[in-house]
């Protein structure tokens, strides 16, 4: 009596080396697919980060404009409340007289 199994039964039984090769091949395929997915996701992530950066910069620009306009408005209110002169008549002139004439006591000649 033979103790060896028939040839067909032996061929269907994978050896430990073949199972390790199959395991390594499937792991490498899994790793390859994961890296492909990571590459496509990083491309999308880069686009999203660019859009977020543009939005952040535009928010900062709008906030800066708001702060500047707030300061201008507060200065305007102070000018109205305290009756400050400003603009072309800021040096303290009256009725269009130049600062030099006003300081030196000169009169306007029409």
Distance of CA 66 to the CA centre of its chain: 20
Domain range list for the chain: 16-84
Alpha-carbon span 3 to 8, nearest angstrom: 15
Q: What is the pLDDT of residue 96?
A: 52
Task: Give the residue ranges of DSSP H helices in the chain.
Answer: 7-12, 16-82, 99-103
Distance of CA 49 to the CA centre of its chain: 6
Q: What is the pLDDT of residue 83?
A: 82
Contact 44, 51 (CB under 8 A): no
Alpha-carbon span 44 to 16, nearest angstrom: 42
Q: What is the pLDDT of residue 25?
A: 92
Q: What is the pLDDT of residue 55?
A: 97
Please, what are the averages of pLDDT over each run of 10 residues along the chain (110 residues)? 56 76 92 88 87 97 98 91 74 54 54
């Amino acid at each position: 009596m033979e103790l060896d199994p028939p040839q067909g039964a032996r061929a269907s039984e994978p050896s430990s080396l073949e199972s390790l090769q199959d395991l390594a091949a499937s792991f490498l395929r899994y790793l390859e697919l994961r890296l492909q997915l990571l590459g496509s996701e990083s491309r999308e992530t880069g686009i999203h980060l660019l859009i977020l950066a543009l939005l952040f910069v535009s928010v900062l620009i709008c906030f800066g404009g708001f702060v500047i306009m707030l300061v201008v408005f507060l200065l305007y209110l102070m000018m109205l409340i305290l009756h400050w002169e400003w603009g072309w008549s800021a040096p303290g002139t009256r009725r269009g007289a130049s600062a030099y004439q006003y300081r030196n006591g000169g009169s306007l000649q029409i």
